[in-house]
Amino acid sequence: MQKATFAAGCFWGVEATFRQIPGVISTRVGYIGGKTENPTYKEVCTDGTGHAEAVEVEFDPSKVAYNELLQVFWENHDPTQVNRQGPDWGTQYRTAIFFHSPEQQAQAEASKQALEQSHRYAKPIATQIVPAVTFYPAEDYHQQYLEKRGLASCHIK
């Protein structure tokens, strides 16, 4: 099993999207990339901890390739938005790929470059590609939030 970590706005919809992919073993939402240890949702929402809302994906690389996960990431948010997605704004909603290995870094950078060269977007891609650091799981009520409420998505494409 391998891990992949993505930030693409509100983590509820991002998690729901990744949970549907065959080969994804588990997901959990949480906070990564900030300066506060064990932040709470309330603290992250102040825009003062530096964390991004993110989804940690555990996947079986024999069933789904990391490049396929990258494709889902790119297709399910607007990677040109700086510190926002749809109506949500703040650094916690930034677009970022947190890589867990040099291979993931290389694949993420290549996929970003390919997207930029495709000219699909008029604006530059704002997605950060940075090393994965400590991932702090969000509170239990955030885990599989949409699924628990019988909702399919809140995700904005």
pLDDT per residue as tens digits for the range 20-33: 999 999 999 999 99
pLDDT band at 84 (very low <50, low <70, confident <90, very high): confident
Q: CB under 8 Å to 2, separation ≥6 — which residues? A: 58, 59, 60, 61, 66, 100
| pLDDT score, position 13 | 85
Is 154 annotated as catalytic?
A: no
pLDDT, averaged across the chain: 91
Q: Among 4, 8, 10, 72, which one carries the catalytic annotation?
A: 10
What single DSSP character describes residue 153?
Answer: -
pLDDT per residue as tens digits for the range 45-77: 998 999 999 999 999 999 999 999 999 999 999
Domain 2-148 in CATH 3.90.470.20:
no
Domain boundaries, the chain: 2-148
Give the global pTM: 0.91
- Determine the average pLDDT of the residues in 108-132: 96
